[in-house]
Amino acid sequence: MDAMRVIVIGATGHVGSYLVPRLVRAGHEVVAITRGPSAPYHEDPAWDAVERIHLDRDAGDADGTFGATIAGLGADAVIDMVCFTPDSARQLVEALRGRVKLLLSCGTIWIHGPATAVPTAEEEDREPFGEYGVNKEAIEKLLLEEARTPGGLPVAVLHPGHITGPGWNMIGPAGNLDLDVYRRLAAGEEVVLPNFGLETVHHVHADDVAQGFQLALENPEAAVGHGFHLVSDRAITLRGFATAVAGWFGAEPRLRFEPYARFAELTAAQHAQTTWEHIARSPSSSIEKARRLLGYEPRYSSLAAVAEALQWLIDDGQVEAGPLRISG
């Protein structure tokens, strides 16, 4: 594989913080695009070799200059981690067509909505809901149609699950971002879960997402024209998640199950809404296609990814609990 000049849009985000150093170590020349002088989540000497450029995408999309600016940087490939509307995607494609060899775009497993069968494959019928999922599904459709059109821009779309890792909060055992649930589980206090706790969440470590993007970049003949799930090997149930977390602290889980309506009454409104958004989808996504075509193999299970992130939250003082005790 020849070294490439690669632009990463949204380079210091969750995935970019791992992806950019990966690309540098693989011998690629990397241009990091960020809105401002934001630092990556993790220090890495590889960043010393990265060209840094600050661009306001919203302003550039509004006046039609963002795509042309990216195209003018003379890259072989562009990795777009922060595209959220079909219009933004269309502007970038039109500017890059005929000027770069590959565009990789970050989607989401929320393109699917509720599943009929699990694990869900990429090509199954979809019922996305919510602005984020609906827009991301429309973006993928636009991009893959472009890739399959003669003379079109070569594009692939990669769909992470719940991106998890040290440096930020992650979706927890109640399907929301309530950090106090970890303290309660560690202390052996009661934790209320919706329904029977059997809805699922599907995490993925940010470095495994970065792995998937690197594989697609370096195997374009296998990637172009396709969408791929990037998640851990298996989703986890809320009940199993909570039980595992309690065990990491040597505690017995005290779980109480309530119908969602009652759960919402007992839970802060913002957390109850987040829980609904996750359990209404209950994602469980297949990675068979990414394994077969790209050689994707996640290093982290869902629980391993969560454990690393949780230990960081404890060390950072955001969760009041002792260190995790995980054997094996």
Same domain flag for 218 and 79 = yes
Instruction: Identify the pLDDT of residue 37.
Output: 85
Tally of helices (H runs) and strands (E runs) in the chain: 13, 13
Q: Is residue 99 part of a domain?
A: yes
Which pLDDT score is estimated for 1?
65
Whether 157 and 305 map to the same domain: the answer is: no
The verdict on 253 and 268 lying in the same domain is yes
Say whether both 177 and 104 belong to one domain.
no
**Do residue 197 and residue 207 come from a single domain?**
no
One DSSP character per residue, 190-252 reads EEEEETTS--EE-EEEHHHHHHHHHHHHH-HHHHTT-EEEE--SS-EEHHHHHHHHHHHTT--
Interval 199-243: pLDDT, tens: 999 999 999 999 999 999 999 999 999 999 999 999 999 999 999
Total structural domains within the chain: 2
Q: Would 295 be classed as within a structural domain?
A: no
- Decide: 232 and 161 in contact? Cβ < 8 Å: yes
pLDDT at res. 6: 98
Range of the domain at 118: 5-163+203-230
In this structure, the answer to whether residues 72 and 92 fall within a common structural domain is yes
| pLDDT recorded at residue 38 | 86
Below-50 pLDDT ranges, the chain: none
State whether residue 30 is helix, strand or coil. Answer: strand
CB 314 within 8 A of CB 248: no
pLDDT at 180: 98
54 plus 147 within the same structural domain: yes
Read off the DSSP letter of residue 142.
H
Q: How far apart are CA 199 and CA 192, in angstroms?
A: 14
